[in-house]
Amino acid sequence: MRIPRRASALALGWALTVSSAGAYYHYIHYTSATAPYLPVPEKFDLSALPNKTVTIFVSDAGPKKFPANDSLPSVLTQVGQATQVWDGVATSDLRVSFGGLYADGTEGATPGGEVVFDDEVPPGLLAITTHTAANTAVTGPDGSFFPITRSVMHFRSDLTQAPGPSYSEGFYLTVVHEIGHALGLQHTFTSSVMSTAVTRATAELAPLDADDIAAISLLYPRNFGGNTGTVTGTVTAGGAGVHMASVVALRPGGSAISALTNPDGTYRIDGIPPGNYFIYVQPLPPTANITSPQDLNGKPVAPSGAFQGVFYPNASDQGKATVVSIQAGVSKDGIDFSVNRKNSVPIYDVSTYSFYGQAAAHPAYVNFVPGAATIAAAGVGLGSNGHLTAGLSASVLGTAFLAPGGLRAYGTTPTYLALDLMFGLVTPTGPQHIVFSDSGNVYVLPAGIKLTKTDPPSISSVSTDATGNVVVTGTNFAPDSQVYFDGLPAATAIVDVSHAAVIPPPGVSGQTAVITVYNSDGQNSMFLEPSPVPAYTYPGTSAPASSVTLSPSVLPAGARAMVDINGVNMNFTDGFMNVGFGSSDALVRGVWVLSPTHALVNVQVADNALPSSSYATVISGFQVNAQQNAFQISAAVPDLPVVEPVLVNAVWVPSGVYPGATVSLSGLNLGGTKTTVTINSLSATILNASATQISLVIPAKLQPGPAILRLNNGTTSAYPVVVTIVPAPPSISTVQDVSNVNISSTNPAHPGDILNVQVTGLAAHDASVAPGRVKITAGGDNIPAGSVTEVNGTAWLIQFTLDQAVPTGDQVPLTVSIDGKTSLPAYISIAP
Amino acid sequence: MTGKRSAWDYRVQRIVLFLLCLAAWLTPLHAAILERLSLDELTQQSTAIVRVKVVGSYAEFHGSMIYTHWRVQVVERWKGPDRSTVEVLIPGGIARGLHQDVAGAPKLLIGKEYLLFLWTSKSGSTYLTGLSQGLFELGKSATDEVVSRPASGEPMLDHVTWKLVKDENFQMRYSEMTSRISATLSHGGGH
């Protein structure tokens, strides 16, 4: 076979720089025509994103037709919250932001994502989602990749069709799923959010599963892998490698994490939390809807085809499968499979359902308290003409089990299965996995059953009390139940199993919002298909016109700046406010609500942004004020001082930025000896300054909260920025042994010792401090407080026991934290 | 079968059918979601039906989407404006050094003939009706010229029940196909 010279050169270049990550469910290009196959993914270039943040927008055209009780603000809240889901993955270095509305055709130098509703969709086509990526790879710190420049989710403008209505859990999970695609993830088969809706088993309050977190973290790693393990191996059929087989590590009662095989059958699953796992391999279903990897010439490398699924080690019976123990930081290699080819995939696309009267839920949620339950399953290969597929059996990988004879077929075309489940005396809540076996073939459905201790919540009435709060009455409310108004979680206080008191999110007079109660076990009040759906109508009959002003409304390329926002007939509310500027070149990095009509935001404009105008969208709950061309980017200003709006404690980062703290400020053109800095008009003492970094002392008289920092480099003022000042943390006075002798080099502590640490500033005088609020760290080792006692009216004595595994040395840092506030360290001697 | 079991059977069928419909409604939009169109519906909802020969292509951005523009020469026409050439837009392609891959979007071959069902939007752009559903290849059987279309692998919904349906391979004699099209049009399929 002849390989073009250019492609060979590319391959060599890639081979030298490529990441060692396995072929997860990313959009993959292979770097060579032969083994070893080095997958190069398509992903966003973090170095091209402001603050490593990709922004997702919604087209200002919006949907033109809505179902009853649905609206554009509801769509916007769902998209906004879906971005927060991906933004919240701590082990991913990619941040995700919602940028509000944008005008079609808005150009930006920065990559981003768009949700588009329009009429340019021909009959017979409901929606298209795709992303644009470069044709040539680049190399970053984590290896080579093809940069994604734009992602588009293209819908018809009629939301009465798929995937509406926007207030449903299904719409929300679909948006989370689609944004996952936009970020570079493909479908997986572990019932996580990146699975198709047929098998997906995640829920509103916890939309991501371990597989989703592993997927995004592998693509954009940040401190990822240290606490997880790896499995590697090969899948072969007749001695030849099987391409695009789905290999899954599945924990009983827990989650599944997976990868696809390379063309030679090799695979690597990273990001597996420690524990005991079953490993199994399955073929891709015909409905996988996965874009095949591309070869050096951009041609798709197709999957190898169907085969029989098996557990490791080649067991078609789960009872003969071997449990693989996964440890953090350890790769379990040689988990190989030898599979038998088939003409077609025997079983796939299995969904499970549970029933509540005439209503049903997918996946099957089962209250195990009664001791038995029946669920239904539907899927390809389970049966036909009202009969089970010959030889089909089913079992549960978990603590539930099938009753004898508890697998029955119903219906004709299609044919469904009823599974009669029973539960042991000791049954945990959470996922249980279903295993279907058929003539040597194994099909595993992770989380096919969700065990619960109660039936789903229901709502019988929604009323308003004298204070204006909403009272939701129903059944099966849990202490951690959350009430949603359309797609927004409201401030919820659960009174008892039947009552919740709720403060509605900011809304619009006359607006009707659908009310749903979500329990943390995944169940929600829509399971019972209430009719009519419970709803709340905001007081008033017509919404007064709102307006918003921005100052400044023009910023140059490269700027970091505070923008002052004032609203009329708006109700800015902390936690419900989102501001976007309709261009991927303008990133909102923080929002501070000062009053119902006054807020501040920090904005970062891309260094390479071109002059442009864009939307300003100010959202508070369901209140949306969007103004076209309300924000402008102007040409970059040479030598403009630029202040990065993040201060860092220069002594001990976890202690934060508090009055009196010594902190570092970074930026560009910051000046030197003539530089002045004020924070809320109080002068900050500058310890040293360079063009890119300044050390300063936060004025001691500052009050905690948002504060405006202004810098002049001696000739020019930077745009002011908002910084957050936190309360002063506790301060360690002494660390003593139980004999009240100070710990020192001559009186070192030892692992297992009981120590007393005296601190000030822990809490107010006479306050009650539960030990559970107080955390101690010694050399990075987290230690619970044993007791917390106030002494002398101003100080607190905390007693704790050093772990046996605590690090030893002459200068072991010890800190005390309460409610997230962490002291500066005291350095103590700990001898072995 | 007991009465209780019959009730269960009925309930399972009813609810699972409903939920399959719901699940399909909510099928993620990784690439495309199709709405199933019968041959009559294809005929009625298309603004043009033409037999064409592909003569060229190029790709360019339309907003954030890349579309490949396929220039086709009209060989025979059953519906639509009388034009000798048409430019058909199909999502995906390579433009400005960037690529978009849209699973389910067909690629044409230059020099080859096809039977196309086309839809022109208010903006004047012309697309395949129903994505791959509107593209038929021309071939020969032992005795006749035939038109065929492979089943789409994309999620497909029935637009009445919104139930997920399985697409199937399609093949028909060319003469029969054109007769069906003509018959539908003569019964009010629109021009």
In the CATH hierarchy, which fold is given to the domain comprising A458-537? Immunoglobulin-like (2.60.40)
Mean pLDDT of all residues belonging to chain A:
90
In the CATH hierarchy, which fold is given to the domain comprising A233-279+296-338? Immunoglobulin-like (2.60.40)
Cα gap A270→A809, rounded to integer Å: 34
Smallest Cα distance from A28 to chain B, Å: 12
- pLDDT (0 to 100) of residue A226: 83
- pLDDT (0 to 100) of residue A716: 96
- pLDDT (0 to 100) of residue B160: 65
Lookup: tokens for A409: 């077929």
Collapse the DSSP code of A82 into the 3-class scheme (helix H, G, I; strand E, B; otherwise coil) and give the result.
Answer: helix
User: Could you tell me if A586 and A614 are in contact, meaning their C-beta atoms sit under 8 angstroms apart?
Assistant: yes
Q: What are the angstrom distances between the C-alpha of A39 and each of A17, A281, B102?
A: 11, 20, 20
Is residue A786 left, alpha or beta, with left meaning phi > 0 and alpha meaning psi from -120 to 50?
alpha
> What letter would DSSP give residue A211?
H
pLDDT classification of A23: cutoffs 50, 70, 90: low
Smallest Cα distance from B125 to chain A, Å: 8
At position B66, the amino acid (one-letter code) is: I
Candidates A245, A251, A177, A262; CA nearest to A210 is: A251
Q: Parse chain A into domains and list their residue ranges.
A: 44-219, 233-279+296-338, 348-452, 458-537, 550-633, 642-725, 731-830
- pLDDT (0 to 100) of residue B3: 38
Reported as a single tens digit per residue, the pLDDT across A90-107 is 999 999 999 999 987 777
Candidates A234, A553, A600, A529; CA nearest to A358 is: A529
> What part of A 97-156 touches B (C-beta under 8 Å)?
104-105, 114, 116, 119-120, 122-136, 149-150, 152-155
User: Could you tell me if A812 and A827 are in contact, meaning their C-beta atoms sit under 8 angstroms apart?
Assistant: yes
Collapse the DSSP code of A517 into the 3-class scheme (helix H, G, I; strand E, B; otherwise coil) and give the result.
Answer: strand
Top-confidence residue, B26 or B96: B96
Q: Over pLDDT 70: what percentage of chain B? A: 76
A450-455 average pLDDT score: 94
A348-452 and A731-830 have identical folds: yes
Reported as a single tens digit per residue, the pLDDT across A377-408 is 988 899 988 899 999 999 999 888 999 999 99
User: Which run of H or E residues covers position A178?
Assistant: helix A169-183
Lookup: tokens for B120: 């022109």
- pLDDT (0 to 100) of residue B153: 67
CATH class of the domain defined by A550-633: mainly beta
Lookup: tokens for A368: 């195990």
- pLDDT (0 to 100) of residue A201: 83
Cα gap A186→A453, rounded to integer Å: 34
Cα gap A173→A827, rounded to integer Å: 48
Cα A482–chain centre separation: 18
User: Which of B28, B29, B98 shows the shortest C-beta gap to A133?
Assistant: B98
Sheet architecture: strand order including A400-410: A359-361, A348-356, A372-380, A416-423, A400-410
Q: What are the angstrom distances between the C-alpha of A137 and each of A3, A80, A774, B80?
A: 18, 31, 49, 44
- pLDDT (0 to 100) of residue A163: 61
Cα B78–chain centre separation: 17
pLDDT classification of B30: cutoffs 50, 70, 90: very low
What ipTM was assigned to the predicted interfaces of this complex? 0.80
Q: How many CB pairs under 8 A join A and B?
A: 187
Reported as a single tens digit per residue, the pLDDT across B89-140 is 999 898 988 888 887 788 899 999 999 999 999 889 999 999 999 999 999 8
Domain A348-452: what homologous superfamily?
Immunoglobulins (2.60.40.10)
In the CATH hierarchy, which fold is given to the domain comprising A44-219? Collagenase (Catalytic Domain) (3.40.390)
User: Which of A119, A133, A173 shows the shortest C-beta gap to B121?
Assistant: A119
Place of tokens 């695979």: A267
User: Could you tell me if A247 and A206 are in contact, meaning their C-beta atoms sit under 8 angstroms apart?
Assistant: no
- pLDDT (0 to 100) of residue A524: 94
pLDDT classification of A21: cutoffs 50, 70, 90: very low
Cα A167–chain centre separation: 20
- pLDDT (0 to 100) of residue B57: 96
Residue A767 has pLDDT above 70, yes or no: yes
Place of tokens 């096919």: A448
Sheet architecture: strand order including A731-737: A731-737, A754-760, A795-801, A787-791
> What part of A 244-303 touches B (C-beta under 8 Å)?
286-287, 289-291, 298
In this structure, which CATH number among 3.50.50.60, 3.30.360.10, 3.40.50.620, 2.60.40.10 belongs to the domain A642-725? 2.60.40.10
Cα gap A33→A38, rounded to integer Å: 10
Task: Classify domain A731-830 by CATH number.
Answer: 2.60.40
Cα gap A31→A27, rounded to integer Å: 13
pTM of the model: 0.85
- pLDDT (0 to 100) of residue B90: 94
User: Which run of H or E residues covers position B13?
Assistant: helix B3-25
Residue A44 has pLDDT above 70, yes or no: yes
Residue A134 and residue B98: Cβ atoms within 8 Å?
yes
pLDDT classification of B4: cutoffs 50, 70, 90: very low
pLDDT classification of A574: cutoffs 50, 70, 90: very high
Residue A174 and residue B130: Cβ atoms within 8 Å?
no
Q: Over pLDDT 90: what percentage of chain B? A: 50
**CA angle, corner A794, sides to A789 and A798, nearest 5?**
30
Strands A662-668 and A648-649: antiparallel
> What part of A 188-207 touches B (C-beta under 8 Å)?
196-198
Residue A329 has pLDDT above 80, yes or no: yes
Cα gap A65→A521, rounded to integer Å: 34
